[in-house]
A and B are shown apart, each in its own frame.
Chain A
């Protein structure tokens, strides 16, 4: 996945340094791909940042779930662990913590491995992109759409989430006609999640 980001970021006009710095500092998986998709769609800075912030709101949920296990951890160490909090590290760490085999040190290890993997993947993608040439010949512009489709199916874990997703899609179509740029994503997500949280108790 890091590699895919490297290839697509280069194809969309990032320099090699920008692609690598982006992966190293944002460490955001889907958030980075969304930023790329919106930037190529010509979205303004505020809407790109707002959309990535909304998709990364899930980190709040992860953080809140992890926090009881980190209550005794010093703030400085919490600060480092927070930096490496991603979907993958959360899944591994919460599993370790619940089995009782996890602590601050194992979490730091998991975080470090995941950061190195993501950044090294991006470097590999950047290098590969210079060999590949025009990525559109290979249908590279669809890689992001395919990944978002997979993520959507992955998130639709039960009937309620499916219904909320369908609602978001319908609101998005209406908003895409009415609103400028890519604000429809933010509006549709907030509206659908709010209706879902109110309706499904």
Chain B
């Protein structure tokens, strides 16, 4: 990755994020968002995460992997179960890495 590319992402993200945070507070306090828009916004995070996880798990580093030889996919299942049970982000992340190391070792 080039430095110019990384700085461009950092600067672009800073501006885009701030606009998304500030405009609703500054503008919406004068004008109520319609209900369907609020509902649409409430579905965005789950959709983004689902799409992202599917991409990262089925096509890690840009290559499609068959499910039966894919440690990324296999590790995701117990990882999801760990978060579901304990609701802890940091613990789930660590558990996920361990599951991944185990499956990677088993499949190699």
Contacts and interface: CB of A to CB of B under 8 A. Distances in A.
A59 B47 contact: no
A172 B41 contact: no
Contacts of A49: 9, 12-13, 16
Given A45-B12, A54-B44, A189-B44, 5 more contacts: A41-B61, A53-B16, A58-B44, A63-B24, A185-B48
Question: Among the interface residues B7, B38, B47, B90, which one has the most CB atoms of the partner chain A within 10 A?
Answer: B47
A106 interface: no
Interface of A: 1, 4, 12-15, 18, 21-22, 25-28, 30-32, 34-35, 37, 39-42, 45, 48-49, 51-64, 66-68, 70-71, 75, 78-79, 81-83, 85, 138-156, 160-162, 164-169, 171-173, 176, 182, 184-185, 188-190, 192-194, 196-197, 200-201
Contact of B76 (A32, A145, A184, A185): A145
Interface in B22-45: 22-26, 28-29, 32-33, 36, 38-45
Given A57-B41, A60-B24, A81-B25, A189 B104 contact: no
Contacts of B104: 139
A162 B32 CA distance: 28
Nearest to B61: A41
